[in-house]
Amino acid sequence: MVNLLDNLISIELHRVQVLPMLEIRNVSKHYSSIPAVENVSFCARPGEVTGYLGPNGSGKSTTMKMITGLIATNSGSILFDGRPIHADLMAYKQRMGYVPEEPYLYTHLSGAEYLVMVAQLRNLARKLATERIDGLLRLFALYDDRHVGISAYSKGMRQKILLAAALLHNPDLILLDEPFSGLDVGSSLILRSLIEELARRGKVVLFSSHELETVEKISSHIVILHRGKIVADDSIERLRALMSLPTLEGIFSQLAVEQNTEAISKQIADLIYA
């Protein structure tokens, strides 16, 4: 009986250990002498959607870029699956999909050509790549425009290409920096469900957004940054209970909005009428 219990515990421990987890430990970044991110620590777990929030300039994109390995930290460490990401950055990048805030695309390529290039960089087998690219282009409603140059794509179409490129290799870690930017209502609803579905299937999903209603609907875990520092790191339910506030907007306003928004809007209107 004891042996059986030991075995069960060891199987459970093993199961817990093999689940990939993203850990940010005391990470700081400054540009020249200006601090952008200060001593930030949090975890994003598989099966959860972690919403990363903060006002403009609070350090969200800087954190995302450090997690991708695109920019270096000044201090602290970032671990995935228990290993520092820089221990084998190439292997880590094969497991990561990233949608950047700015759409850096080769606009002289068509949507299909761009995805083929990404598939090659990801070392995807040709047949698998063709199937996935065709499927993603159809599902993102880009198939009819697949041979059109990206320079002629709308903002939303470019965003969908970025999303397809980030998901093509079925990554374990999905980093989405304002992924709803430019998407129409239908596409946003698809992306919302997709984020939830990918988390349900065990992916680690970290996404930043200013759309608090969406974040509230799909995130199980909320991290809020303010001036480069973490001011909240908890489940949405616990944040609501702890702060006795019913909505994420109320919680966010209390923790991270300093301006008197009504007064400022009135001042702007008064200014242009003067």
Ligand X SMILES: Nc1ncnc2c1ncn2[C@@H]1O[C@H](COP(=O)(O)OP(=O)(O)OP(=O)(O)O)[C@@H](O)[C@H]1O
Binding-site ranges for ligand X (CB under 6 A) = 31, 36, 54, 56-62, 101
Q: Name the minimum Å distance from CB 19 to ligand X.
A: 28
CB-nearer residue toward ligand X: 61 or 110: 61
Q: Name the minimum Å distance from CB 31 to ligand X.
A: 3
Exposed/middle/buried for 262, CB within 10 Å: 0-12, 13-18, 19+? exposed
Q: Name the minimum Å distance from CB 76 to ligand X.
A: 15
CB-nearer residue toward ligand X: 114 or 180: 180
Q: Name the minimum Å distance from CB 37 to ligand X.
A: 7
CB-nearer residue toward ligand X: 110 or 214: 214
Residue 259 phi, psi dihedral angles, 5° rounding: -75, 155
CB-nearer residue toward ligand X: 97 or 100: 100
CB-nearer residue toward ligand X: 51 or 59: 59
Q: Name the minimum Å distance from CB 56 to ligand X.
A: 3
- Count CB atoms within 10 A of the CB of residue 208: 24
**Cα separations in angstroms, 96 against 73, 165, 180, 233:** 18, 11, 19, 23
End-to-end CA distance of the chain: 83
CB-nearer residue toward ligand X: 71 or 109: 71
CB-nearer residue toward ligand X: 28 or 58: 58
CB-nearer residue toward ligand X: 54 or 171: 54
Q: Name the minimum Å distance from CB 38 to ligand X.
A: 11
Q: Name the minimum Å distance from CB 57 to ligand X.
A: 4
Q: Name the minimum Å distance from CB 36 to ligand X.
A: 3
